């Protein structure tokens, strides 16, 4: 059996070893201390502390080009991005993006061409309907012509009223201006129900798609006359 003096010395020695050692050496000494007290536990009881290391996870960063995880710190990121594999994957991704962009642009051009083709076909179909149904077209043109004539007559009446209030001299000049404006341009700009622009003659009720060479009264001018 150990004496009290030997027990105290052993306790101090164990405590000194635990205080001085660090890291793995501290862990080894702690294990020795534990084994020593385990053998002598019949004679005395003394708490023994064993230092245990613990693992702490580091932050990770996912590389979308390489589909892998790397440490989230500047040295690791720089080392990974300067690698050959990462550069090849980046170049591959850029190439795919360019191919997709070119494909999208070509598809957009194709859609525009198809829309233009559809518009041309719709215009041809409309012209064909006009040729096959002249009665309907003539009716629409006559109605439009009659409406325009009524508007012109009302504007002439208003002009005559203002001429009478201003005197005989002004009356002659105004009447000449109105008559010249009404007789010089017999073609009027108009729009169909589908939104297409055409031109019609107030005297002959003729209509055509091309602007007449002798001039015409635009829609804007017609609105100003109102």
Is pLDDT larger for residue 47 or for residue 58? 58
Among 21-25, 69-73, 115-119, name the one with the lowest average pLDDT: 21-25
| pLDDT grade for 48, boundaries at 50, 70 and 90 | very low
DSSP string of the chain, one letter each residue: ---HHHHHHHHHHHHHHHHH--HHHHHHHHHHHHHHHHHTTTT-------------PPPEEEETTTTEEEESSHHHHHHHHTSHHHHHHHHHHHHHHHHHHHHHHHHHHHHHHHHHHHHHHHHHHHHHHHHH-HHHHHHHHHHHHHHHHHHHHHHHHHHHHHHHHH-HHHHHHHHHHHHHHHHH--EEEEE-TTS-EEEEETTT--EESSPPTT--B-HHHHHHH-
pTM: 0.29
Contact 188, 199 (CB under 8 A): yes
pLDDT at 175: 47
- pLDDT, average across residues 18-23: 49
Residues 6+ apart with CB under 8 A from 25: none
Among 35-39, 79-83, 96-100, 214-218, name the one with the lowest average pLDDT: 35-39
Pairwise CA distance, residues 91 & 71, whole Å: 23
User: Which pLDDT tens digit goes with each residue over 55-87?
Assistant: 566 788 899 889 899 988 999 889 999 999 999
- The residue behind tokens 């996912």 is 62
User: Which pLDDT tens digit goes with each residue over 140-196?
Assistant: 666 776 777 777 777 767 766 665 655 555 445 544 554 455 456 788 888 877 777
- pLDDT, average across residues 35-60: 59
Q: Would the pLDDT of 89 be above 60?
A: yes
């Amino acid at each position: 059996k150990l004496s009290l003096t030997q027990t105290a010395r052993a306790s101090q020695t164990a405590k000194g070893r635990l205080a001085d050692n660090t890291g793995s050496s501290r862990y080894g000494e702690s294990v020795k201390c534990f084994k020593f007290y385990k053998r002598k536990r019949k004679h005395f009881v003394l708490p023994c502390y064993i230092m245990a290391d613990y693992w702490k996870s580091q932050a990770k960063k996912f590389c979308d080009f390489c589909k892998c995880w790397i440490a989230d710190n500047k040295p690791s990121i720089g080392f990974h991005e300067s690698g050959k594999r990462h550069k090849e994957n980046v170049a591959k991704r850029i190439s795919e993006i360019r191919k997709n962009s070119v494909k999208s642009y070509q598809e957009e051009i194709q859609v525009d061409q198809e829309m233009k083709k559809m518009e041309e076909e719709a215009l041809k179909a409309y012209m064909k309907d006009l040729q096959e149904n002249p009665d309907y077209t003539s009716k629409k043109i006559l109605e439009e012509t009659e409406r325009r004539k009524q508007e012109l007559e009302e504007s002439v009446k208003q002009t005559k009223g203002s001429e009478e209030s201003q005197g005989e001299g002004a009356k002659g000049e105004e009447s000449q201006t109105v008559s010249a404006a009404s007789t010089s341009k017999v073609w009027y700009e108009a729009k169909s129900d589908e939104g297409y622009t055409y031109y019609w003659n107030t005297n002959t009720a003729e209509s055509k798609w091309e602007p007449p060479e002798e001039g015409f009264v635009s829609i804007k001018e017609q609105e100003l006359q109102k």
